[in-house]
Amino acid sequence: MVTSKFIYQEVGGITANGERIVKPRFVGTRQVSTQELIQEVAKRTAVSRGQLLGMLMNIADALPAFLAQGHSVKIDGIGVFHPQLTMRDEMPVSEQDETGDEVMHNARNVVFDTVRFVPDKGLVGGARAACRPIHDRYSGNREAMPTPYSEEERRNLALNHLQEHSALTVSQYMQLTGLRRTKASQELRLWSHGEDACLEAVGRPPHRYYVVRHER
């Protein structure tokens, strides 16, 4: 059994009884590195860490070939990887040629977007059986928090999202950080203005979204 801490976080809205709607969220977590994962796996097998790393890199190298063909890839005990397509916003679905006739070019407007991962039931069940969550009551978290992330952490969450996706909407930022819509909108606008801006706003509300700002 593994002990982990959590806090209650506001998600917006109220119940029929007038109480705030909250959900539990892990706190004090970190990202486990590939080397640390390999070291843990090596304890469970006679294969060396170097061989395990090589196998993992080979899997990572083979996955894109199947995903690029539109295939889903299932790894037993881990889950299924599903490829996703999207439309490039900067290119219209159709345009007029020299004669004024409308020419469709949907294929040119479709690009590979991201990979959706659906975990194996055994993976989820194993983690559930091993997890013993404890409420972190003694770090200023007695009541539900609007978000467990600092401003810097929220900024990094936004930039990390944009490394894997072409755009970030206010709703997506709300899901990433737990902020309510007003605060989420204000924060994204703040980071898209000034000399130190890291984001660039595209479009107008309610269809506005944000992309990474590049030096001009």
Instruction: State whether the Cα torsion 115-60-76-65 is positive or negative.
Output: positive
> What is the reported pLDDT for 89?
63
> Which phi and psi (to 5°) does residue 68 adopt?
-65, -25
> What is the reported pLDDT for 139?
54
Q: Which fold has domain 149-216?
A: Arc Repressor Mutant, subunit A (1.10.10)
Residue 145 CB neighbour total at 10 angstroms: 17
Question: 3-state class of 95 per DSSP?
Answer: strand
pLDDT interval class at 73 (50, 70, 90): very high
Strand partners, 133: 4
pLDDT interval class at 195 (50, 70, 90): confident
Burial (CB count within 10 angstroms: exposed 0-12, middle 13-18, buried 19+), residue 193: exposed
Report if pTM > 0.95: no
> What is the reported pLDDT for 29?
78
103: which 2 tokens? 């020419």
> What is the reported pLDDT for 53?
95
Q: Which residue has the higher pLDDT, 7 or 124?
A: 124
pLDDT interval class at 48 (50, 70, 90): very high
> Which phi and psi (to 5°) does residue 87 adopt?
-105, 135
Q: Which residue has the higher pLDDT, 151 or 69?
A: 69
Lowest mean pLDDT among 4-13, 41-50, 88-97, 154-163: 88-97
> What is the reported pLDDT for 100?
63
Average confidence (pLDDT) over 165-180: 86
**Do β-strands 20-26 and 73-75 pair in parallel, antiparallel, or remain unpaired?**
unpaired
> What is the reported pLDDT for 102?
64
> What is the reported pLDDT for 196?
80
> What is the reported pLDDT for 60?
95
Looking at every residue in the chain, the average pLDDT score rounds to 84
Give the whole-number percent of the chain exceeding pLDDT 70: 81
> What is the reported pLDDT for 204?
82
178 touches 149 (CB < 8 A): yes
Average confidence (pLDDT) over 71-99: 80
